[in-house]
Each structure stands twice: as structure tokens, then as C-alpha cells.
Amino acid sequence: MKIPAKVFSEVITHLFKKPATTAYPFEKAKLFPNYRGRIDFDSPKCIGCQICVRVCPAKAIEIPLSAHQPPAAAPAEGQPAAAAKKKFDCIMKLDHCVFCAQCVESCPKKALLMTQDFELASVNRKELRRHYK
């Protein structure tokens, strides 16, 4: 059945409704708890297994050895000296990262953490290369 201008009543009711858009950036954006944002790094937990580097589809992660290694713990009496645990850094290239969080899922020690940061845009390319120590 043809009814011309049927949508008009709908349009007029919408004049009195709240807008569907939000006032971001003046208002905080609403994110769901599952949202995948910037990946954070927890250095003491990292064992340098490089699994994250191998699974990353965008080649966005590097796990180099830290420049400053912690000294070995003083050996307990009568026991052989324990080797110092190596410390690792994480270089996260945010301009490469596709935010899939596969590294977080593959990390056996949970050293990579998913955060909800999403305001990562920058006009300076160097700022996108984050070095977590």
C-alpha cells in the first residue's frame, strides 16, 4: 500500500528526542570492559621467551634485553650461586599494532597486559614507539 510521506511522523517525533551522538571529546567515551586498547608490559614477569614476537601479526613487538641488568642475589651459605634473573624491555610500536591482543593471550607468564587506552594518536612518529622498561 502506498502511503506518501509516511516517515514524516517519525521525523517529527525525533525532534523532541535526545541526540543519538555523544559529545566526545568533551564527554568521556563509554567503553565496554572487553575493549582492546594499548598493550602494557610488566617487566619483572617477562622471561624473554619471545612467543609474543612470534605470534604478533603486525610485527609490532620487540623484547630486547634491558641495558641495566639486576645484580645476582647474594648466594645463601652452602648453596651454589643462583644465576640472576634476566630483565627484559618491551618496545611496542603503536603505529604497527593492530590491537588484536593475541600477544596477551599467548604470553605464558601474563607479562603483557591489555589496557583500555585508546587515545593514542600523535603527530610525532617517535612517540608511537613506546619503550617499556
Partner 1 sequence: MSKITIPFGPQHPALKEPENFMLVLEGEQISGATINLGYNHRGMEKAAEDRTYIQNLYLIERVCGICSHSHTTCYITNVEELAKAEVPQRALAIRTLFGELERVHSHLLWLGVAGYEMGFETLFMYTWRDREQVLDCLELLSGNRVHYSINTIGGVRRDITAEQKAEVKKRIKYLEERTQYYIKLATGEPTVLARTQDVGRLPYDVAIERGAVGPTARASGVARDVRKDDPYLIYSQLDFKVITHNTNDVFGRLVVRALELVESYKLIHQILDGLPEGPIAVKVPWKLPAGEAVNHYEAPRGEDIHYLKANGTDKPERLKVRAPTLANLQSVAYMLEGGWLADVPLVIAAIDPCMSCTDRAAVWNPEKGRTEVYSWEEMRKLGIEHYKRRGVDFGRL
Q: Segment contacting partner 1 (CB under 8 A): 6-14, 39-47, 62-70, 80-88?
A: 6-14
Site string for partner 1, 41-80 (x = CB under 8 A): -------------xxxxx----------------------
Query: Can you tell me the distance from the alpha carbon of 52 to that of 54, in angstroms, rounded to the nearest whole number?
Result: 5
Q: Segment contacting partner 1 (CB under 8 A): 40-48, 71-79, 80-88, 101-109?
A: 101-109
Query: Can you tell me the distance from the alpha carbon of 35 to that of 55, in angstroms, rounded to the nearest whole number?
Result: 20
Nearer to partner 1, 47 or 51 (CB): 51
**Residue 113 bridge partners (DSSP):** 40
End-to-end C-alpha distance for the chain, whole angstroms: 69
Q: Is the dihedral of CA 44, 49, 51, 54 positive or negative?
A: positive
Could you list the residues that contact partner 1 (CB under 8 A)?
A: 1-4, 6-7, 10-11, 20, 32, 34-36, 54-58, 98-102, 105
